[in-house]
Structure 1
């Protein structure tokens, strides 16, 4: 039976661990993260799946220490797998795997290498993304590609909704690729990073709305960071408002009132977010201080008579 040490977190980590087990891979150890009190935990628990299947789990702050490397090396795994683990792995760790080290990445590499690829893809208005299984190298998301599965990004999909599709795509990608990986005859495709893109992490402050942008750009920002992510926000008179749900305006059913200023306005119980191109998003739910505003509160803050 082939053996593996797995670095995993998030829903992709859960589904991928289960896929390894279903394909007959013995998972000797899972290296994961402790959940952060500062993060909304909306995804599945790797800790729970390890407890369910009696798999040892550790959560070091740094996986690249001498002690952790020695612990992994002592297990003599055939493979290393990384499934949405948040730390880079050193060459010393990668070299432990006798038969290869592989990572699942949430984009169609070489596009959107780096951090939070789903959010970046939605922000940039992509109509497609996917999951890629590739060899791990010291350079992030740069190793040879073994398999990819694409998923559509529909015009109104949020990053949360796309991530649900990617979780399934990741499971499918790994399931299809594992037999050849275990047999040692997996085909590999060059990952030409010069033809792709790299993006760093995002902070909550990156959700600040610039109403001078086009309506499509503002809408894409909303979709990219909509709850359960921190959300696209705007500050008005020292108060912060987070868009919970919105749509691009449908001008066949709703008319944009004339002479509205940039930003949020409420006219006849309809909440508009007016943008720099003269178009608008229709805001369907708006949060303030952790609560969704009712119509009375919306009118109080934003009414335009």
Structure 2
């Protein structure tokens, strides 16, 4: 009898220990997104004036472990009056209010980070891929419900492995075998942490002769709530991408990003970038600017405010 009691107590103790380990794994889990790079912002050598093309400040990495892809970067500033997204291109994102489809133009000016609200228990969320707007059951290219993602009947896809999102610039010469028959196999389920993790691969989608590359980023929103699928999307070659010219989604950038080296797809580890006004008066006298930089939707550590003179 004593041996049975000891055995039972041992089993209970083992279960408690295993439960504690599992709880620690769940509570301390962090997605493999973002970067450990840290940045430092310094005032430009030129004084700000009433002109609308001032050089505002320079940014470089004070701690750097990797070069960052511009398609995954977002740089924005706040002058106390409004918050403005900066771009290497001519356009930046608009806030479109409440919508189940939330696209945000990255700082490269050609890639969107899209978040889809797939929380409904009963209904799919439909995506018009070319326009990055919410579609309908009769007009969509992808549909989302929780972890389930399907292509529409007139859309096909293929998978590219072991390639950076930035490096994929051409339409792949391979069969497009993904179709509407089965859901996309885009994630792994980690039973140890009870998390959905996107696989490290790129989908190339053929939408009636227009080709888009998609890389899934996360299944969780900023509050770590599930069923919010986020992904990068950009057009390949000369494919039509009307979202880039839709005034509901984009508008002229009020601040621009100038690279100190040759124009590239990466913010290099040893590179200094410069933030300029773009025909808009952001700061004409002493002013304090707040800086916000994200990578893969995760905040990058660094200078939060800078005084310009």
TM-score by length of 2: 0.21
TM-score by length of 1: 0.21
Structure with more of its chain in helix, by fraction? 1
